[in-house]
A and B are shown apart, each in its own frame.
Chain A
Amino acid sequence: EVQLLESGGGLVQPGGSLRLSCAASGFTFDNYAMAWVRQAAGKGLEWVSGISGSGAITYYAGSVKGRFTISRENSKNTLFLQMGGLRAEDTAVYYCAKKVHSGLAPFDSWGQGTLVTVSS
């Protein structure tokens, strides 16, 4: 059974940094592209960043490019999101999601999410 477990969320001041982690199990981690998707309270889904199975290729939404960095440690089956220069509008539940395959594919597994709150 595929399991994705996010951690690292919390309260951070504007301009601060936070590192999210997503521990994966139940599948061959390095065979699959992964992504972070966020959802502000009462709002829709917003794709944040994606990464290939090897970690060599990364993608970012314009709203976070230059502030966030996605990475993965395949030996530990873990996905990361390093967030910096945080703004109030980054406040959201952050989900890690697994793609069906490494190409242009949907997300077939999602974690339960971790809440990031940016506030002074």
Chain B
Amino acid sequence: QSVLTQPPSVSGAPGQRVSISCTGSGSNIGAGYDVYWYQQLPGTAPYLLISGNNNRPSGVPDRFSGSKSGTSASLVITGLQAEDEADYYCQSYDTSPSGSVVFGGGTKLIVL
């Protein structure tokens, strides 16, 4: 199982707001490491959505936002659109072993 825990799926209707959680522990998110979010459309490589401290790379709509508190983080998508249907992954770092990268198991977003 993945070091970071995400719900297997979330759903919402077009125009609605959805939130995807990412739960870690004291050795990763709780240790103060940033949390990053990726979107993966079917058959394609992951795409960076949130690059830490709720920063969005150029081209990412402001409908996507990230937050972190304690040992958890969340990705919020507002104004849901059909093209947002994809898999979403959180990523952070871990102290054990030092420098290791950890991912969440991924969440399938279903747009109803």
Contacts and interface: CB of A to CB of B under 8 A. Distances in A.
Nearest to A61: B100
B69 interface: no
Contact of A44 (B51, B101, B106): B106
Contact of B46 (A45, A61, A100, A105): A45
Interface residues of A, number: 22
A50 B99 contact: yes
Interface string B70-112: 0000000000000000000101010001011111111000000
A45 B106 CA distance: 8
Given A50-B99, A59-B100, A106 B48 contact: yes
Contacts of B34: 104, 106
A79 to B, nearest CB: 15
A106 B51 contact: yes
B45 A108 contact: no
Nearest to B47: A110
B33 interface: yes
A106 B105 contact: no
Contacts of B103: 37, 44-47
A53 interface: no
Q: Which of A47, A50, A57 has the most CB of B within 10 A?
A: A47
B97 A59 contact: yes
Interface string A96-112: 00001000111110111
Interface in A64-120: 95, 100, 104-108, 110-113
B45 A111 contact: yes
B101 A110 contact: no
B59 to A, nearest CB: 11
Interface of A: 35, 37, 44-47, 50, 57, 59, 61-62, 95, 100, 104-108, 110-113
Interface of B: 2, 33-34, 36, 38, 40, 45-48, 51-52, 57, 89, 91, 93, 97, 99-106
